[in-house]
């Protein structure tokens, strides 16, 4: 089970590092071409969301690499899960069903990491 959790954590970390970096670095006009919801938020809020995603992603695997307290892993997953709930609310309010599905899947995967890390 531990190996499966690490694989899941690495995949989730790669996803959130990528998405967070895109949001933190790219200008708003370029982001609008990919994410319609970007128009509802200021550039500062988008960068903040990206920063939280990067921090959460790092928290999913850095403790295993540098022998940090492993409680960081489920806490990071919980933070990312909260972001997914907020993102799902945004997509629901905008009527973006396909994006809502991705948020639900990511939330479930993050919940698996939380439960798995707290149980083992």
pLDDT digits (tens, 9 = 90+) for 29-87: 999 999 999 999 999 999 999 999 999 999 999 999 999 999 999 999 999 999 999 99
The verdict on residue 23 lying in a domain is no
Within a domain: 36: no
In a domain, 112, yes or no: yes
Question: Which of 97, 106, 113, 115 is CA-nearest to residue 61?
Answer: 113
Please tell me the pTM assigned to this model: 0.94
- Is 30 part of a structural domain of the chain? no
Residue 89 lies in a domain: yes
CA distance 47 to 68: 27
Residue 40, in any domain of the structure:
no
Domain range enclosing 82: 2-18+53-119
| Residue 14 included in any domain | yes
């Amino acid at each position: 089970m531990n190996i499966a959790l690490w694989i899941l954590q690495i995949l989730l970390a790669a996803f959130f590092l990528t998405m967070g970096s895109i949001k933190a670095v790219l200008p708003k006009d370029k982001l609008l071409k990919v994410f319609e919801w970007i128009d509802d938020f200021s550039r500062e809020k988008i960068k903040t969301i990206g920063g939280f995603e990067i921090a959460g992603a790092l928290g999913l695997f850095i403790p295993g690499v540098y022998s940090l307290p492993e409680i960081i892993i489920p806490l990071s997953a919980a933070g990312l899960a909260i972001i997914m709930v907020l993102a799902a609310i945004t997509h629901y309010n905008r009527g973006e069903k396909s994006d809502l599905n991705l948020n639900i899947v990511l939330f479930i995967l993050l919940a698996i990491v939380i439960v798995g890390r707290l149980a083992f």
